[in-house]
């Protein structure tokens, strides 16, 4: 048998009941996120972002959550990247958080929209100067000839802007407004707890799913 197929883990950390969770999934998300931070999970705000192109072909990558509230889940990127182009065509996406240390996952689906220019400006100018220069230097997802291309672009933009580069028009934020959120808690014998929230109008319907 393939050694990968023999990998096993028995989940025993916690439990989750549909009769005890908050009626609002954003409250439960905040509780779990705070616990992931307290548990010192590596980069607790890292999440998988899944998008699809015009033909429906999916793609996924890790991005960083930069805000979570009643309005939704916010992240920032290059609008001309693959994910940016796909979101322009299909403004639906899925997010996945996985906190291995707590034996937990959160799956989120929803509609995606750009945040305001003012919100993008505010976050952009909070970043280190080198990261702001990098937003100019990298034509994200485009084919480039070599590493030196990036390094030369970085030097050129640093020379032009110094340590006060403005936000590029092609860079900014997105907010995913959730319509479904699932909380997954690992349990023994693969009988995991899965609590699913579905937005119906202004109300969240709560249900337990089989593992």
Query: What are 64-82's pLDDT values in tens digits?
Result: 999 999 999 999 999 999 9
CA angle (100 as vertex; 59, 81 as ends), nearest 5? 25
* Residue with tokens 């509780």, as numbered in its chain: 31
* Domains: count for the chain: 1
pLDDT in tens, 85-133: 999 999 999 999 999 999 999 999 999 999 999 999 999 999 999 999 9
- Residue 194 is assigned to a ligand binding site: yes
At 11, the pLDDT band (50, 70, 90 cuts) reads low
User: What confidence score (pLDDT) does residue 106 get?
Assistant: 98
- Residue 77 is assigned to a ligand binding site: yes
Q: Are 66 and 76 in contact (CB under 8 A)?
A: yes
Beta strands 46-52; 193-200: pairing state: unpaired
CATH no. for residue 157? 2.30.110.10
- Residue 127 is assigned to a ligand binding site: yes
Strand partners, 99: 104
Give the Å distances, CA to CA, from 32 to 67, 74, 78: 15, 17, 29
Q: How many CB atoms lie within 10 A of CB 127?
A: 15
Average pLDDT along the chain: 94
- Whether 3 shows a pLDDT value over 70: the answer reads no
User: What confidence score (pLDDT) does residue 64 get?
Assistant: 98
Supply the angle between the helices 129-137 and 147-161 in degrees, to the nearest 10: 120
Residues with a catalytic annotation lie at 190
Domain that includes residue 72, residue range: 3-208
């Amino acid at each position: 048998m393939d050694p990968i197929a023999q990998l096993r883990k028995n989940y025993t950390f916690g439990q989750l009941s549909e009769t005890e969770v908050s009626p609002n999934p954003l409250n439960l998300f905040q509780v779990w996120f705070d616990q992931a931070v307290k548990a010192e999970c590596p980069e607790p705000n890292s999440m998988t972002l899944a998008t699809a192109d015009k033909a429906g072909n999916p793609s996924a990558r890790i991005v960083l959550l930069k805000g979570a509230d009643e309005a939704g889940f916010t992240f920032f990127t290059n609008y001309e990247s693959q994910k940016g182009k796909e979101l322009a065509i299909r403004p639906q996406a899925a997010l996945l958080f996985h906190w291995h240390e707590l034996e937990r996952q959160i799956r989120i689906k929803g509609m995606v929209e750009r945040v305001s220019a003012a919100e993008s400006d505010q976050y952009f100018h909070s970043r280190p100067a080198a990261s702001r220069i990098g937003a100019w230097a990298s034509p994200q997802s485009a084919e480039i000839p070599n590493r030196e291309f990036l390094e030369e672009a970085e030097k050129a933009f640093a020379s032009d802007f110094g340590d006060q580069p403005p936000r590029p028009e092609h860079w900014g934020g997105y907010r995913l407004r959730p319509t479904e959120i699932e909380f997954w808690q690992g349990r023994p014998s693969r009988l995991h707890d899965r609590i699913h929230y579905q937005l119906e109008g202004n109300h969240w319907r709560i249900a337990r799913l089989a593992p």
